[in-house]
Amino acid sequence: MDVSISLSTTRPPFSLSRQLFLRPRLLRFSPNFGVFLRKPPSISRQNKLAVTALQLSNQTQNDDFVLEDVPHLTNFLPDLPSYPNPLQKSQAYSIVKRNFVSPDDVVAQNVVIQKENPRGVHFRRAGPREKVFFKPEEVRACVVTCGGLCPGINTVIREIVCGLNNMYGVQDILGIEGGYKGFYSKNTKILNPKVVNDIHKRGGTFLCTSRGGHDTHKIVDNIEDRGINQVYIIGGDGTQRGAALIYEEVKKRGLQVAVAGIPKTIDNDIAVIDKSFGFDTAVEEAQRAINAAHVEVESVENGVGIVKLMGRYSGFIAMYATLASRDVDCCLIPESPFYLEGRGGLFEFIEQRLKENGHLVIVVAEGTGQEYVAAEVHAADKKDASGNKLLLDVGPWLSDKIKDHFTMSRKMPVNMKYIDPTYMIRAIPSNASDNIYCTLLAHGAVHGAMAGYTGFTVGPVNSKQAYIPIARVTERQNTVKLTDRMWARLLASTNQPSFIGSDQERVDKEILKI
Ligand SMILES: Nc1ncnc2c1ncn2[C@@H]1O[C@H](COP(=O)(O)OP(=O)(O)O)[C@@H](O)[C@H]1O
Ligand SMILES: O=P(O)(O)OC[C@H]1O[C@](O)(COP(=O)(O)O)[C@@H](O)[C@@H]1O
Ligand SMILES: [Mg+2]
């Protein structure tokens, strides 16, 4: 008996999902058929049907791979009719060689694999499908933006609106103002290509945003009352968790509502996707602050510049801004514990650089060294409305520590220049490449929702847009791996201490001392 499924044969749209959804038990409990299954625990909890496994019939046993699929409206509305995709008649798309993404196209999570190992996890490729599950004239879509700002949000809003309208002829699009709570506490804004035409040139979000206020029942009641059937949710990890709950509730109520998440975070802390939109813009803008710090400190005696950049738990902006600049002497990130005193410590490094060059620049991510600051400030643990821990300000703390040390202990006063450009960076419009990236994300979300996919997050995986189960992007945070080559490249470029010397015991003691 052959239960393996070929992804390479031509089959009608959704045959893959149908077969998989019909047979998960068979696939799961039939090890003799050579099916390879990897089921992350959080995914199995959140959506048992969304994670499936299959084996290519024409591949060898070692070529097993896993498809982590996204839900489809027909999973809980099996009789939903489908229609030919209007893009078939579109001037733009009709000349494309393969104008529709094959239902069998998948994107590999790992592109570097060893030949004897399994092929690993795959996601469904994003893009337009041959059949859609909405008549354009019956679509009532809405867009909401939640969480902190990030360059490019307005471009995503614009491209969702223009994509729905220009590609599919959707006319009825609503903007939910002020984040999740806007669903039940505010009037909606009418969105059309004319209204959003110029918004990509501005920073911030045209729809305003907020933290907190996620009430699944009130939100879904509102979606139902307003007759909304496509929900586009732009936001970070917290927002995507909220989107997963909305999807679950929609499914429970059996509503024909597609829920699409577009991942947003300036910190680049969302897992699975290559990188988040606005990140490149932020790294570029950070150069201006670093340049300013460098100009200031090289013009004075013993100049020490500190630039604080965003990054709650992930130091990506600091790491990339440092790598891009070459004017940074030391980069401190939350993932890499550091210490001030003693051999191999920050003070020793600063003194050495001042003696060699007369100045230095330090870039510090805002989430760095929180435990040190907390030990001295004795501040109570505070949280924002979404439940995110409020950070203590490491910038002034570090500036004071360095000033005190060099003035008092070393009798070598330093000229401290501290720059905090965090909100200035976050508030700018996205650059050209982020604008293009935002367009791909928005179009991917629109194509996915029109094709009836739901409960998904869209994003690039190895440079190909993919539909990713929401639980997969929220189950862990993306952080800088100190054992990866990128951090090694940074250490090699700055020549800063790694703070993890061979004498680990001494290092631990130093950390405890602070
Ligand atoms: N675990 C969660 N479940 C449901 N909603 C959440 C959850 N975490 C955050 N949210 C909601 O998502 C929105 C944005 O979350 P927040 O953490 O502030 O920003 P971000 O989405 O950028 O991480 C808020 O309205 C918040 O109430
Ligand atoms: O806007 P707020 O509430 O001051 O929050 C600042 C935080 O927002 C961020 O810019 C982004 O966080 P989110 O992606 O969770 O919204 C963090 O880097 C920063 O710590
Ligand atoms: Mg977040």
pLDDT tens per residue across span 241-263: 999 999 999 999 999 999 999 99
236 CA distance to ligand 2 middle (Å): 9
Is residue 165 a contact partner of residue 192, using CB atoms and an 8 Å limit?
yes
Confirm or reject: Cβ of 437 under 6 Å from ligand 1.
Answer: no
Is residue 73 a contact partner of residue 133, using CB atoms and an 8 Å limit?
yes
pLDDT value, residue 3: 31
CB atoms within 10 A of CB 110: 13
Q: What average pLDDT score do residues 48-66 get?
A: 44
Nearest to 283 by CA among 260, 250, 316: 316
pLDDT value, residue 25: 25
H helix intervals, 166-236: 168, 182-185, 216-226
Residue 40 has pLDDT above 50, yes or no: no
pLDDT band of 509, cuts 50, 70, 90:
low
Residue 61 has pLDDT above 70, yes or no: no
The mean-pLDDT minimum among 52-56, 108-112, 250-254, 457-461 falls in: 52-56
The closest residue, in CA terms, to atom 6 on ligand 2 is 148
Is residue 203 a contact partner of residue 428, using CB atoms and an 8 Å limit?
yes
Q: CA triplet 128, 199, 92: central angle to 5 degrees?
A: 30
pLDDT value, residue 32: 26
d(CA 177, CA 19): 40
* Residue the block writes with tokens 């019939």: 57
pLDDT value, residue 47: 34
For the chain, what's the residue count? 514
Of the candidates 64, 69, 172, 267, the residue annotated as catalytic is 267
CB atoms within 10 A of CB 57: 14
49 CA distance to ligand 1 middle (Å): 25
**Which of 388, 390, 391, 420 for mutating ligand 2's site (highest number of atoms within 8 Å of CB)?**
388
The mean-pLDDT minimum among 62-76, 307-321, 390-404 falls in: 62-76
Is residue 467 a contact partner of residue 443, using CB atoms and an 8 Å limit?
no
Confirm or reject: Cβ of 276 under 6 Å from ligand 2.
Answer: no
134-158 residue pLDDT tens: 999 999 999 999 999 999 999 999 9
Confirm or reject: Cβ of 426 under 6 Å from ligand 1.
Answer: no
d(CA 429, CA 120): 37
Find residue 52's DSSP bridge partners: 67
The closest residue, in CA terms, to atom 10 on ligand 2 is 148
Residue 42 has pLDDT above 50, yes or no: no
In ligand 2, the atom with minimum distance to the C-alpha of 237 is: 15
pLDDT band of 380, cuts 50, 70, 90:
confident
Active site residue 267: yes
Residue 41 has pLDDT above 80, yes or no: no
Select the highest-mean-pLDDT range: 39-43, 267-271, 377-381: 267-271
As annotated, the binding site for Mg(2+) includes 237
> How far, in whole angstroms, is CA 160 from its chain's centroid?
18
Q: What average pLDDT score do residues 112-119 get?
A: 85
In ligand 1, the atom with minimum distance to the C-alpha of 235 is: 21
Percent of the chain scored above 90 by pLDDT?
76
pLDDT band of 381, cuts 50, 70, 90:
confident
As annotated, the binding site for ATP includes 148, 211-212, 236-239
Residue 178 has pLDDT above 90, yes or no: yes
Residue 31 has pLDDT above 90, yes or no: no
Give the pTM. Answer: 0.88
> How far, in whole angstroms, is CA 378 from its chain's centroid?
32
Residue 54 has pLDDT above 80, yes or no: no
Residue 172 has pLDDT above 60, yes or no: yes
DSSP string covering 30-42, please? -GGGT------HH
pLDDT value, residue 23: 28
d(CA 191, CA 359): 52
Q: Which domains does the chain have, with CATH numbers?
A: 125-275+430-474 (3.40.50.450), 279-426 (3.40.50.460)
Confirm or reject: Cβ of 238 under 6 Å from ligand 1.
Answer: yes
pLDDT value, residue 115: 82
Nearest to 207 by CA among 246, 268, 160: 160
